[in-house]
Amino acid sequence: MKIHIDSYDRKACTIIRKLLLAGLQAADPIMAMKKALSVNGSRLVVGGRQYDLKKFDRVVCVGAGKASGSMALALEQHLGPRLDGGLVSVKDRSGCPTQTIRLHEASHPVPDTRSVQAAREILTFVHSLTRRDLLFVLISGGASSLLAAPAPGLTLQDKKRTTSMLLRCGATIHEINVVRKHLSSIKGGQLASATSATIVSLVLSDVLGDDLATIGSGPTVPNPSTCLEAREILQHYQIWNRVSSAVRLHLEKGIKAHMADTTKRKAKKSARIHHEIIGNNRLTVEAIATQAKLEGLNPLVMTTTLEGEAREAGKMIGAIAREIHASGRPVFRPACVVWGGELTVTVRGNGKGGRAQELALSGAMQIVGLPKMYVVGFGTDGSDGPTEMAGALVDGQTVERAQKRSLNPIQALTNNDSYGFFEKVGGRIHTGATGTNVNDVYILLAL
């Protein structure tokens, strides 16, 4: 994995590359699958649970997500000829050289017709399975858009428009997925309900707290939310009257119990489903802290549950940078302070960017003039928002360099144009698709 940073400070870039590489290696789905699965003869062990492969007629796989291609490849490597194929929906240009599992490319973060096709094929496939089949379901971040099966009465355009508005208004991933589950025929446990096979669901978490019902909108997990909650979320963000009339009618019918809600917990069906979380943001953040210590830095992990507006989080990180510079609190130099989580951006301008880049831009304005102080925002999937950048690096001279180019960082932030800002000033981080997705990491480096 190559990490390119177009920054002027070679020493800082070298350290930051090592930190980010350590974090990505800890979230590598192939390594995570190797830790989670073991096969000895016909005995399969997943987590603490054992399966006798001789008791099953077929062993197959379906799934979706930005990391699901790598997960599928690892599953093939583990099971070999015991695996009878399957279908996994992956993001464009993120495929792996699988042999028996077919990879189907689709769109992210807004679904397209290929997402619908993948969902329909998967539902048809799992419906054909019996109690004597073992079904692996591979789920990682991005599954919600890569598996799109609009509920009866809804179109793909209804879902796309609703998802786009939620993404732009600053809704959290949990809130977005509550709504998406109630507009779907596959999410909220409905994939599991479509088959009688035994299910082993392997999950790479991109959700704070590892809530299985939220990761990928929980296609194999009973849905605890309701249509009423979905409506309340749309009303809270003042987009209820802007979504299509079909969406409003669909949710209103669910509220009035004129139609079945998404799958709730049923003991008999839940007993045949086993979920195993194979990786998450916490492991990535801990790996970064460990690498920081090897680099001679004083590491401090603040949290792996950071939420809120990216620009406000940037202010907070900047305030800690100033405190370290002034007093050595909460950690003495040379220091590496790490956060994990998933921030949001409420889009008010017409620029381009992502939450990691917006945090970095906000942080840059807080550390102006501070020597050897750096703020990094990084998306572990290698794609920050609707851009090809993974994030950005800023230092105490970033704003000065921008001003020399007649760029106004305040204006860029107001216009949500962090991408355009870093394109001209430098500091962009580029990795390409990383093959994993465990939220974001944010780093404050004080050398």
Query: Which of the two residues, 4 and 265, has the higher pLDDT score?
Result: 4
Can you read off the two tokens belonging to residue 265?
Answer: 């917990």
Are residues 13 and 80 both part of a single domain? no
Are residues 37 and 95 both part of a single domain? yes
Residue with tokens 């082993």: 200
Q: Is the pLDDT of residue 280 over 70?
A: yes
> 356: domain CATH number?
3.40.1480.10
Are residues 272 and 303 both part of a single domain? no
Alpha carbon distance 438, 161 (integer Å): 26
Task: Identify the burial level of 52 via C-beta atoms within 10 angstroms of its C-beta, where 0-12 means exposed, 13-18 middle and 19 or more buried.
Answer: exposed
Which of these three, 234, 257, 280, is where a domain ends?
280
Q: State the average pLDDT for the chain.
A: 94
Are residues 410 and 294 both part of a single domain? yes
Express each pLDDT in 158-203 by its tens digit.
Answer: 999 999 999 899 999 899 999 999 999 999 999 999 999 999 999 9
> 71: domain CATH number?
3.40.50.10180
Are residues 76 and 155 both part of a single domain? yes
Are residues 264 and 320 both part of a single domain? no
Are residues 415 and 426 both part of a single domain? yes
Alpha carbon distance 167, 110 (integer Å): 9
For residue 333, the model assigns a pLDDT of 97
Q: How many C-beta neighbours within 10 Å does residue 152 have?
A: 7
Can you read off the two tokens belonging to residue 417?
Answer: 């144009």
Domain count, the chain: 2
Residue with tokens 């409905």: 190
For residue 259, the model assigns a pLDDT of 57
Are residues 324 and 408 both part of a single domain? yes
Q: Provide, rounded to the nearest whole percent, the portion of the chain with pLDDT above 90.
A: 89
Are residues 287 and 247 both part of a single domain? no
Express each pLDDT in 380-396 by its tens digit.
Answer: 999 999 999 999 999 99
Range of the domain at 376: 4-24+282-446
Q: What is the pTM of this model?
A: 0.90
Which of these three, 226, 258, 280, is where a domain ends?
280
Taking a C-beta distance cutoff of 8 angstroms, is the pair 361, 423 a contact? no
Q: Is the pLDDT of residue 304 over 50?
A: yes
Q: What integer is the mean pLDDT of 154-161?
A: 95
Residues 6+ apart with CB under 8 A from 370: 321, 322, 325, 396
Residue 383 Cα distances to 120, 162, 434, angstroms: 27, 22, 9
Q: Which residues pair with 337 in a beta bridge?
A: 300, 444
Q: Is the pLDDT of residue 82 over 50?
A: yes
Radius of gyration (C-alpha) of the chain in whole angstroms: 22
Q: Give long-range contacts, CB 8 A cutoff, 24+ apart: 316-320.
A: 317/359, 317/363, 317/366, 317/375, 317/442, 317/444, 318/362, 318/363, 318/365, 318/366, 318/367, 318/375, 319/366, 320/444
Alpha carbon distance 132, 54 (integer Å): 10
Q: Which helix (H) or strand (E) holds 139?
A: strand 133-140
Are residues 39 and 149 both part of a single domain? yes
Lowest mean per-residue pLDDT among 60-69, 90-99, 149-158, 200-209? 90-99
Position 374, amino acid: Y
Q: Is the pLDDT of residue 270 over 80?
A: no
For residue 429, the model assigns a pLDDT of 98
For residue 267, the model assigns a pLDDT of 39
Q: Which residues pair with 273 in a beta bridge?
A: 199
Are residues 175 and 42 both part of a single domain? yes
Q: How many C-beta neighbours within 10 Å does residue 347 have?
A: 16
- The C-alpha angle with vertex 329 and arms to 372 and 302, in degrees rounded to 5, equals 90
Residue with tokens 């994990």: 340
Express each pLDDT in 211-262 by its tens digit.
Answer: 999 999 999 999 889 999 999 999 999 999 999 999 999 999 999 975 556 6
Which of these three, 280, 298, 332, is where a domain ends?
280
Strand order, beta sheet including 37-40: 37-40, 43-46, 49-52
Alpha carbon distance 442, 19 (integer Å): 11
Q: Which residues pair with 203 in a beta bridge?
A: 139, 277
Are residues 429 and 307 both part of a single domain? yes
